[in-house]
Copies of this chain bind each other. A is one copy, B any other.
């Protein structure tokens, strides 16, 4: 095995509709904070990776223009794993450090989606489905994909749309406390239930928004990390898996097989047998309310069909047994595709350091957190285990 790798600096832009900045300026908002947080300068960075989906981007070579604006001249590359692009960027930077090929590496994600009209955005995201059959021939967009999952889930487990709304109510509760979040308004069950259908049974309030935003983390090997910071957050293990792009081929719609495989690898890598007793915090990929419920089950913290129960019993609130998305999640914090995976890593670092806002800071007892980041409908899945201890 290579060096142990730790996060030694974090930065996060304000998420939302950011017509006030260019994509390079938006990226700099998180890179500059991450550099300050670590006390490092651009010259210390040996390699950087940019997670970006960017079909709508004003600049195509995002890694180049972001790097130039930020004063980075070392090697770089852009990566795309759909909505898991941030985790892919993290993997690349982590391996570059763990292999010894970089002393310090930067992983960041950025997306500027409000550049394009809504209908274009929906088409360009939809093309990430199974383009050949399901998007082009059947017209499936992403809300429709997840609506298939939701329909199956609600039917199989006698759950109701009201139950799904519980995920969004929680997300907005925490988004209201997170100054970096896109939405700062709490919502009620009736707000959610009365919101318009996007793709039945999913409504506006079941769906994450279009978002502009960026996030950045700086990584170093164990020895270096201890010199840089008193609170390194280690990456213990990561699992990833690639699933079928073609929903028509899947056996199971009540969960994502790729998530389960990625989790299995991550748990094995960290020596974890029972995930229900190991983590202070979960950051899960809630692009739609149903995705959050499936995540609980795919990660093994709820049994099949019982994810909804965790929500109803408030067990995934910050003071519950399985605190999940105390930053507002993709739903209320926002979902700038390329940045989301890094944003989750930033939140985990803050929480494990004990630096989150009061009212949403979890109790750190076990010192471990889990990140779950999905691209497409389980086209990609990345699950990462973080630890305060080395």
A: residues with CB less than 8 A from B are 1-3, 22, 47, 55, 58-61, 63-65, 67-68, 72-82, 85, 88, 91-92, 94-96, 98-101, 127-128, 130-132, 238-246, 261-262, 265, 375-376, 379-380, 382
Tell me if B242 and A379 are in contact (CB < 8 A): no
Tell me if A246 and B68 are in contact (CB < 8 A): yes
Tell me if B75 and A240 are in contact (CB < 8 A): yes
Tell me if B63 and A81 are in contact (CB < 8 A): yes
Contact of A82 among B61, B75, B91 (CB under 8 A): B61
**A261 and B74 alpha carbons, distance in the complex (Å):** 9
List the B residue with the shortest CB-CB distance to A126: B60
**A48 and B60 alpha carbons, distance in the complex (Å):** 23
**A132 and B58 alpha carbons, distance in the complex (Å):** 8
Contact of A379 among B64, B265, B382 (CB under 8 A): B64
Cβ contacts under 8 Å, A64 to chain B = 82, 242-243, 245, 375-376, 379-380
Please tell me how many copies of the chain the complex holds: 2
A121 CB to nearest chain B CB (Å): 13
**A122 and B308 alpha carbons, distance in the complex (Å):** 51
**A58 and B133 alpha carbons, distance in the complex (Å):** 11
List the B residue with the shortest CB-CB distance to A237: B101
With A81-B63, A100-B2: A74-B127 Cβ-Cβ less than 8 Å:
no
Contact of A242 among B76, B127, B128 (CB under 8 A): B76
**A159 and B278 alpha carbons, distance in the complex (Å):** 69
**A245 and B65 alpha carbons, distance in the complex (Å):** 7
With A61-B375, A132-B59: A380-B241 Cβ-Cβ less than 8 Å:
no
A64-B82, A74-B242, A77-B92 are known; give 17 further A-B pairs, CB within 8 A. A1-B100, A22-B132, A55-B55, A60-B127, A68-B244, A73-B243, A75-B240, A75-B380, A75-B382, A76-B240, A77-B85, A78-B79, A80-B80, A95-B101, A98-B100, A98-B101, A101-B238
